[in-house]
Structure 1
Amino acid sequence: MKALLNRLIASAMLLTAMAHGHEVLVGSYTDGASQGIYRYRFDGASGQIDATPLQVQPASNPSWLTLSADRRHLFAVNEQAAGEVSAFSLDSAHHLAPLNQVGSQGGEPTHSSLSHDGRFLFVANYGGSTPEGGSLSVLPVKADGRLGAAVQRLRHAASQVNPERQAAPHVHSLVSSPDGRYLFASDLGADRLFSYRYDGNAAQPLSAFDSVALPPGSGPRHLLFSADGKRAWLTLEMSAQVATFDYHDGHLRLVQTVALTDSDDPAAKAGGALHGSADGRFLYVSNRGSANELLVFAIDPDDGRLTLLQRRSVEGDHPREFSLDPGQRFVLVANQKSDAIVVIRRDPDSGLLGEVVQRFKQAAPSDLKFID
């Protein structure tokens, strides 16, 4: 019954996507030709991005984009040595307008997320260019969407397993539990997942709760929870693996680790983004470096374990992020170093990826977020 319901939901999403266009926001690195944040029209029937942008919003290295739940505000990390975060409003026509910009209290912020009540923005400062490394910052979100100065900053101890990449902590992402009671920090430099209790009424909203040790030198990157909140998956960047966890009340228990590559070459190990299909049946994971692949996994409905179904070239270089379109018929891949968004057809029934339907020129794309 649950499988049938998921298929009916997916079919409804497909029909909606085919009947209506969508808009997608693209974050980018602005060291070259890119100007910042781009807003494009996406055709859910053909899989084509319209070549003429609806808007170009100037910003400095807006490498990660976070939309508010009501789609009225957007927050972009400015990934630079003196990290900042920019806030924007979105009107009913999705036009972006700058609100303000504040310091992230760390270097090279690479990720952000909102608390479930929308009161705080959690910012992951990677801190790759400073001896002290990265940190976690908490920024209050005002009623009008403007950001306030950080009210909390937290740092972890590095594992120092890899003397070049783990001499200091490097917080790579911050993800709340589905019920919003806990925040999980993936620290590449510490080889740990740290969990914090969240209290939106406290002067400092986060308090230490637990941590999970990961394989030495694995370098955790991005975490994703299942829709029912019982499972979670994590990419391990440096070891090029994806880990499966059972989840309950702030605690993660490791149950499986799957390799993203059979190669022993360190250049082929650069685990990146991960996203699940809307019906909960498939997980997609990127591996960058010399591999430059998307891997498709079937998710066991009983225990969340993964079975590899397909390896698919991204037909580009360095897939920093990717996104399934709202109709679930296409995957858009932000190939940062080859300056393109590659749109690949997807079969919603099998989960498998097919032919490329578009190679869209975009300077240094880094993140993709659909507005509707």
Structure 2
Amino acid sequence: MKKVVMVAGMMLIASAAMAQEKTFVYVSNGDSGTVNAYALDKGKHKLTPVGDYPTGLKSMPLVVSGDKKTLYVSVRSQPYHISAWHIQTDGSLTHFADTPLPEAMAYVALDKTGRFLLSSSYGGDMFSINRIADDGKVESAPVQVVHTGKRAHSIQTDPTNRYLYVPLLGADQMLQYRFDSQSGKVTANTPGFVNIQREAATGPRHFVFAPKRDGKGEQNIYLLTEMAGNISRLTQDKDGTLQEKK
């Protein structure tokens, strides 16, 4: 099997596996504008350098395609863009496309079909959805750009790919949308957000979906808050709306 691991600042993202037993690690370096590639020997707990690749100043968030063949890197210096790289069998990278983005994106993800790039902007208070062509290139014209309110941070669709969520660090809210996996467009759910409530500012930032036991039970979401420094648990109702659990 082949595994691909990405490290962006303090963020670690582990991918699923492919056909042969190989694991690779990718680290973005914002100031130098590069991505470092490593081969990971899990038995010896050792990283071996594969290569360094210039991606552009302030290269930070990363995401790997579901088939583990493409690495997408968000470049947060002007001109803002997504840099696309083919992942070779030895873990090395080959650049093949740059696509403009409407803002400096703090987080990038793919929907569950792998056909749409989801990117959110902390400084621009918005998120963008771009279609990905069959050759892996991100298309230039966004499918949709949504203005969110203060300090959008991460962005993900749920495991069913029917709902999309974006935490607002500056508003202590989690935005909730219905997601159309055919068009790539979202519409606000009802209500359009859930408050992440504490006595003071919480600063919701990153979140993950917990696996369901035997595919059953409620869908739990764990949300990291920056200001409060804790993890909130939310549950998803059948209509995609969320409730915070104390």
Cross-structure match for 1:28: 29
Cross-structure match for 2:185: 205
Deviation, structure 1 residue 136: 0.3
Structure-2 separation of matches of 1:244 and 1:201: 30
Does residue 194 of structure 1 match 2:183?
Answer: no
Structure-2 separation of matches of 1:238 and 1:28: 25
TM-score by length of 2: 0.81
Instruction: Structure 1: give runs of 5+ residues left out of the alignment.
Output: 1-19, 128-132, 158-168, 257-372
Q: Displaced runs of 4+ in structure 1, greater than 6 A? A: none
Structure-1 separation of matches of 2:152 and 2:33: 26
Cross-structure match for 2:41: 43
Aligned with 2:64 (options 63, 67, 70):
67
Deviation, structure 1 residue 83: 2.7
Structure-2 separation of matches of 1:155 and 1:190: 13
Cross-structure match for 2:107: 111
AA paired with 2:113?
Answer: D
Work out the number of aligned pairs and report it: 215
Structure-1 separation of matches of 2:203 and 2:97: 33
Structure-2 separation of matches of 1:136 and 1:35: 23
Does residue 101 of structure 1 match 2:102?
Answer: no
Cα deviation 1:15-43 (Å, max 9, x = unaligned): xxxxx6521111121x2xx3411110112
Secondary structure of 2:165's counterpart equals strand
Task: Determine what percentage of the aligned residue pairs are the same residue.
Answer: 25
Does residue 121 of structure 1 match 2:117?
Answer: yes
AA paired with 2:47?
Answer: I
TM-score by length of 1: 0.55
Does residue 136 of structure 1 match 2:127?
Answer: yes
Structure-2 separation of matches of 1:35 and 1:134: 24
Aligned with 2:205 (options 221, 237, 244):
221
Deviation, structure 1 residue 245: 1.4
Deviation, structure 1 residue 201: 2.4
8 Å contact 1:80–1:109 — kept in the other structure? Answer: no
* Greater RCO, CA 8 A, separation 6+: 1
8 Å contact 2:164–2:177 — kept in the other structure? Answer: yes
AA paired with 1:100?
Answer: A
Cα deviation 1:287-343 (Å, max 9, x = unaligned): xxxxxxxxxxxxxxxxxxxxxxxxxxxxxxxxxxxxxxxxxxxxxxxxxxxxxxxxx
Deviation, structure 1 residue 181: 0.8
8 Å contact 1:88–1:145 — kept in the other structure? Answer: no
Higher share in strand: 2
AA paired with 1:201?
Answer: Q
Higher share in helix: 1
Structure-2 separation of matches of 1:94 and 1:224: 26
8 Å contact 2:178–2:186 — kept in the other structure? Answer: yes
Deviation, structure 1 residue 212: 0.8
Instruction: Structure 2: give runs of 5+ residues left out of the alignment.
Output: 1-20, 213-217
Secondary structure of 2:153's counterpart equals strand
Deviation, structure 1 residue 100: 1.6
8 Å contact 1:99–1:145 — kept in the other structure? Answer: no
Bigger Rg, structure 1 or 2:
1
